[in-house]
Structure 1
Amino acid sequence: MAEKSFKYVILGGGVSAGYAAREFAKQGVRPGELAIISKEAVAPYERPALSKGYLFPEGAARLPGFYACVGSGGEKQLPEWYKEKGIDLILSTEIVKADIASKTLVSAAGDIFKYQTLIIATGSTVIRLSDFGVQGADSKNVLYLREIDDADKLVEAIKAKKGGKAVVVGGGYIGLELSAALRINDFDVSMVFPEPWCMPRLFTPEIAAFYEAYYTDKGVEIIKGTVAVGFTAHPNGEVKEVQLKDGRSLEADIVIVGVGGRPMTTLFKGQVEEDKGGIKTDGFFRTNIPDVYAVGDVATFPLKMYGDMRRVEHVDHSRKSAEQAVKAIKAAEKGGSVEQYDYLPYFYSRSFDLSWQFYGDNVGNSVLFGDSNPKDPKPKFGAYWINEGKVVGAFLEGGSPEENKAIANVASSRPEVESLDALMKQGLSFATTKM
Structure 2
Amino acid sequence: MTTLLQKKYQHKVILVGEEPHPPYQRPPLSKNYLTGEVDQGSLYLKPISIYENAGHQLRLGVRVVQIDRNNKIIRLSDQSTLKYDQLVLATGSRVRRLNAPGADLKGIHYLHDIADADNLRQQLVAGKRLVIVGGGYIGLEVAASANKSGVDVTVLEAADRLMQRVTGPEMSAFFYAKHTDAGVDVRLNTAVTGFEAGEQGCVTGVRLANGGIVPADIVLVSIGVLPETALAEAAGLPCDDGIVVDEFTRTADPAVLAIGDCTRHRNLLFEKMQRLESVANAVDQARTAAATLMGERVPYKSVPWFWSNQFNVRLQMVGLSQNHDQRVVRGNPSDEAFVVFYLQGSRLVAVDAVNMPMAFMVGKKLVYQGKDVSVEALKDPSTELKSLA
TM-score past 0.5 threshold? yes
Contact 2:34-2:118 at 8 Å conserved across structures:
no
**CA distance in 1: counterparts of 2:60 and 2:243, whole angstroms:** 24
How much has 1:148 moved relative to structure 2? 0.4
**CA distance in 2: counterparts of 1:158 and 1:268, whole angstroms:** 37
Partner of 2:293: 329
Match of 1:341 among 296, 300, 307: 300
Instruction: Give CA deviations for 1:21-75 in whole Å, capped at 9, x if unaligned.
Output: 11222232347x1100000001000111111211125xx221211211xxxxxxx
**CA distance in 2: counterparts of 1:288 and 1:282, whole angstroms:** 9
Partner of 2:41: 64
Equivalent residues in 2 for 1:12-411 (5 A)? 21-30=1-10, 33-56=12-35, 60-68=37-45, 77-129=46-98, 132=99, 134-159=100-125, 162-269=126-233, 271-331=235-295, 337-362=296-321, 363-364=323-324, 365-373=326-334, 376=335, 379-400=336-357, 402-411=358-367
**CA distance in 2: counterparts of 1:299 and 1:427, whole angstroms:** 40
Contact 1:349-1:355 at 8 Å conserved across structures:
yes
Amino acid at match of 1:371: N
**CA distance in 2: counterparts of 1:114 and 1:415, whole angstroms:** 47
**CA distance in 1: counterparts of 2:365 and 2:315, whole angstroms:** 16
Partner of 1:73: none
**CA distance in 2: counterparts of 1:307 and 1:286, whole angstroms:** 18
Instruction: Give CA deviations for 1:267-321 in whole Å, capped at 9, x if unaligned.
Output: 1215344354011111110011021000001111112112221011100111111
In structure 2, the CA distance between the partners of 1:428 and 1:119, relative to structure 1 (3 Å rule), is: farther
TM-score (normalizing by structure 1): 0.85
Instruction: Give CA deviations for 1:123-181 in whole Å, capped at 9, x if unaligned.
Output: 0010112xx2x11111111001101010110111124xx31111001011111101101
Contact 2:9-2:294 at 8 Å conserved across structures:
no
How much has 1:366 moved relative to structure 2? 1.4
**CA distance in 1: counterparts of 2:236 and 2:285, whole angstroms:** 18
**CA distance in 2: counterparts of 1:227 and 1:430, whole angstroms:** 44
Amino acid at match of 2:344: N
**CA distance in 1: counterparts of 2:302 and 2:241, whole angstroms:** 19
How much has 1:212 moved relative to structure 2? 0.2
Contact 1:136-1:231 at 8 Å conserved across structures:
yes
SS class of match (2:66): strand
**CA distance in 1: counterparts of 2:245 and 2:89, whole angstroms:** 11
Partner of 1:74: none
Contact 1:410-1:431 at 8 Å conserved across structures:
no
Amino acid at match of 2:93: S
**CA distance in 2: counterparts of 1:430 and 1:196, whole angstroms:** 35
**CA distance in 2: counterparts of 1:55 and 1:266, whole angstroms:** 30
Partner of 2:387: 433
**CA distance in 2: counterparts of 1:292 and 1:343, whole angstroms:** 22
% same residue: 29
**CA distance in 1: counterparts of 2:309 and 2:26, whole angstroms:** 14
Contact 2:373-2:388 at 8 Å conserved across structures:
no
SS class of match (2:86): strand
In the alignment, structure 2 segments of 5+ residues that lack a partner are none
Partner of 1:72: none
SS class of match (1:61): coil
Amino acid at match of 1:342: K
In the alignment, structure 1 segments of 5+ residues that lack a partner are 1-20, 69-76, 332-336
SS class of match (1:232): strand
In structure 2, the CA distance between the partners of 1:29 and 1:428, relative to structure 1 (3 Å rule), is: farther
How much has 1:403 moved relative to structure 2? 3.6
Contact 1:382-1:428 at 8 Å conserved across structures:
no
**CA distance in 1: counterparts of 2:362 and 2:317, whole angstroms:** 11
Q: CA RMSD in A?
A: 1.7
Contact 1:284-1:328 at 8 Å conserved across structures:
yes
**CA distance in 2: counterparts of 1:85 and 1:416, whole angstroms:** 47
**CA distance in 1: counterparts of 2:377 and 2:34, whole angstroms:** 40
Q: Once superposed, which parts of structure 1, at least 4 consecutive aligned residues long, lie more than 3 Å away?
A: 270-276, 427-430
Instruction: Give CA deviations for 1:343-396 in whole Å, capped at 9, x if unaligned.
Output: 1010111110000111112122212221112xx4xx111111111321111111
Instruction: Give CA deviations for 1:389-409 in whole Å, capped at 9, x if unaligned.
Output: 211111110113x34311211
**CA distance in 1: counterparts of 2:77 and 2:355, whole angstroms:** 47
Contact 2:134-2:157 at 8 Å conserved across structures:
yes
Deviates more, 1:294-303 or 1:37-46: 294-303
In structure 2, the CA distance between the partners of 1:388 and 1:306, relative to structure 1 (3 Å rule), is: farther
Contact 1:276-1:310 at 8 Å conserved across structures:
no
Amino acid at match of 2:121: V
**CA distance in 2: counterparts of 1:428 and 1:149, whole angstroms:** 49
**CA distance in 1: counterparts of 2:359 and 2:328, whole angstroms:** 17
**CA distance in 1: counterparts of 2:306 and 2:43, whole angstroms:** 19
**CA distance in 1: counterparts of 2:370 and 2:209, whole angstroms:** 43
**CA distance in 2: counterparts of 1:404 and 1:203, whole angstroms:** 15
